[in-house]
């Protein structure tokens, strides 16, 4: 059973083709710079037990040209992995914002597409691109079931006290302003890996997804998200690569009134020019780590602020859960940045969290679940590689089984 997973961005298409009989990836790739110059596709594939890759430089005026080349690469005689697009039995799409309606993956219909479009106001950078990915995929796989998997779905178990804002009620009832969260597919996946590893399906877990976008989630003994750091949009919560995270709203009023910032510039300022980039001039944590080790004061402040924000959320979520069995680091920074994991876990001894610094370094960037807590730690500290594509593929497969 072959499932194709598509994550379409405004100028990119990320894809994976998975064999669900073995949960293995047989091809994956990324189309970049759609709609601009310097287009490139990097296609990695597994054929006859050998892994290889193919790169092609060409212009992609629209997503249609990108998807056309993906299909050609998947079916190519020399480096393709299927003989015909019909070999694929289902296509799963990552959709960032499902609003308060979609709490489970759904088979894509015209009505579902209309709903995704309606919710674009809640995720203007993501949902329109996600919807475009669906429409393009339907052109090339017209008779193959397509499934939408929503990033927000996992967080719809949050209680009102966690997702409501203390603003007049009509803004919630009429305009649906509330906390929705994000990265739900990743949090759900690593939580399952954690409880299976611990052989404790009722474990209370705090999952920490640290990448260019970052979020942290409190998951109770029922496997339900009860709170998460991202809010109405992915801007809220932790410090990120280019996003500010939590900020006093009155700062924005002050910027407009006193700093000469135009109101329409605020979105770009907070989403694309803040976070690590705003503090250090670099948005990549690897660059900031290097500056930190050289004693750069901006980098020191950045990592101290970054880790402090995560630390505060850990404390808050332990209180919300009334205890915790494990904390899990995942995603690009969470899995690979020993420096930040060390800073985050420092001085949490009172909460029973104690890192083994040697394991933290030696087991960084693992292929499977690794524990990095000290022997005296009362709380498990784990690194778990996320696999959102596999989670989406599994959700898609489950929908196909119900058809």
CATH topology of domain 199-388: Nucleotidyltransferase; domain 5 (3.30.420)
Binding region for substrate: 94
Q: How far apart are CA 325 and CA 349, in angstroms?
A: 14
Backbone angles phi, psi at 194, to 5 degrees: -65, -50
CA–CA dist 113, 266 (Å, integer): 30
pLDDT, tens digit (0-9, with 9 covering 90-100), for 253-265: 999 999 999 999 9
Kindly give the pairing relationship between strand 146-150 and strand 88-95: parallel
CA distance 33 to 63: 10
pLDDT tens for the chain, 403 residues long, are 999 999 887 778 889 999 999 989 999 999 988 888 889 999 999 888 888 889 999 999 988 899 899 999 999 888 889 888 889 999 999 998 888 888 889 999 999 999 999 888 887 778 888 998 899 899 989 999 999 999 999 999 999 999 999 999 999 999 999 999 989 999 999 999 999 999 999 999 999 999 988 999 999 999 999 999 999 988 999 999 999 999 999 999 999 999 999 999 999 999 989 999 999 999 889 999 999 999 999 999 999 999 999 999 999 999 999 999 999 999 999 999 999 999 999 999 999 999 999 999 999 999 999 999 999 999 999 999 999 999 999 999 999 998 7
CB 73 within 8 A of CB 121: no
Same fold, 2-150 and 199-388: yes
Domain ranges of the chain: 2-150, 199-388
Asked whether the beta carbons of 189 and 334 are under 8 A apart, the reply is: no
Asked if residues 181 and 158 have their Cβ atoms less than 8 Å apart, the reply is yes
Distance of CA 226 to the CA centre of its chain: 18
Sign of CA dihedral 169, 171, 172, 178: negative
- Work out whether the CA dihedral 221, 225, 227, 228 comes out positive or negative: positive
pLDDT digits (tens, 9 = 90+) for 121-152: 887 778 888 998 899 899 989 999 999 999 99
Are the beta carbons of 154 and 187 closer than 8 angstroms? Answer: yes
**Which of 84, 151, 337, 395 is an active site residue?**
151
- 2-150: which CATH number, 3.40.50.1980, 2.40.50.140, 3.30.420.40, 2.130.10.30? 3.30.420.40
Residue 248 bears catalytic tag: no
Cα torsion at 314, 319, 324, 326 (round to 10°)? -10
Q: What is the dihedral of CA 238, 239, 244, 248, to 10 degrees?
A: 50
Tell the burial category of 103 from Cβ atoms under 10 Å away from its Cβ (0-12, 13-18, 19+). Answer: middle
Rg of the chain in Å (alpha carbons): 21
Measured CA to CA, the distance from residue 241 to residue 396 in angstroms comes to 31
C-alpha distance from residue 57 to each of 11, 34, 51, 68, 293 (Å): 15, 12, 21, 14, 37
Q: At what angle do helices 338-345 and 285-293 cross, to 10 degrees?
A: 70
Name the phi and psi angles at 121, rounded to 5.
-65, -25
Q: Please give the annotated binding residues, written as ranges.
A: 7, 14, 94, 209-213, 284-286, 332-336, 388
């Amino acid at each position: 059973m072959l499932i194709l997973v598509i994550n379409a961005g405004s100028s990119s298409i990320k894809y994976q083709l998975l064999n669900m009989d073995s949960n293995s990836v047989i091809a994956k790739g990324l189309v970049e710079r759609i709609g601009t110059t310097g287009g490139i596709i990097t296609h990695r594939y597994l054929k006859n037990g050998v892994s290889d890759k193919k790169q092609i430089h060409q212009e992609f005026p629209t997503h249609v040209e990108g998807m056309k080349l993906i299909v050609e690469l998947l079916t190519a005689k020399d480096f393709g992995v299927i003989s015909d697009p019909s070999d694929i039995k289902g296509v799963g799409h990552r959709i960032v914002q499902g609003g308060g309606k979609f709490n489970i993956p759904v088979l894509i219909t015209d009505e579902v597409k209309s709903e995704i479009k309606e919710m674009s106001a809640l995720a203007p950078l993501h949902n329109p691109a996600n919807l475009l990915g669906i429409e393009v995929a339907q052109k090339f796989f017209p008779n193959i079931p397509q499934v939408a998997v929503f990033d927000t779905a996992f967080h719809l178990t949050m209680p009102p006290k966690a997702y409501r804002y203390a603003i007049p009620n009509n803004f919630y009832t009429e305009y649906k302003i509330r906390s929705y969260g994000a990265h739900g597919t990743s949090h759900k996946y690593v939580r399952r890996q954690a409880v299976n590893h611990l052989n404790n399906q009722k474990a209370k877990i705090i999952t920490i997804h640290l990448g260019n976008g970052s979020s942290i989630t409190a998951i109770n003994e029922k496997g339900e998200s009860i709170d998460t750091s991202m809010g109405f949009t992915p801007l809220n919560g932790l410090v990120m690569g280019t996003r500010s995270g939590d900020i006093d709203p009155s700062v924005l009023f002050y910027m407009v009134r006193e700093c000469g910032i135009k109101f329409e510039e605020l979105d770009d300022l907070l989403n694309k020019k803040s976070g690590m980039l705003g503090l250090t001039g670099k948005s990549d944590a690897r660059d900031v780590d290097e500056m930190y080790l050289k004693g750069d004061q901006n980098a020191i402040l950045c990592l101290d602020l970054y880790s402090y924000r995560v630390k505060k959320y850990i404390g808050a979520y332990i209180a919300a859960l009334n205890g915790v069995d494990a904390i899990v680091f995942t995603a690009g920074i969470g899995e690979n940045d020993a420096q930040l994991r060390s800073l985050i876990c420092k001085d949490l001894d009172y909460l029973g969290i104690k890192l083994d610094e040697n394991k933290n370094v030696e087991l960084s960037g693992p292929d499977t679940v690794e524990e990095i807590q000290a022997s005296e730690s009362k709380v498990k500290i784990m690194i778990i590689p996320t696999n959102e594509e596999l989670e989406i593929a599994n959700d898609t497969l489950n929908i196909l089984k119900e058809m």
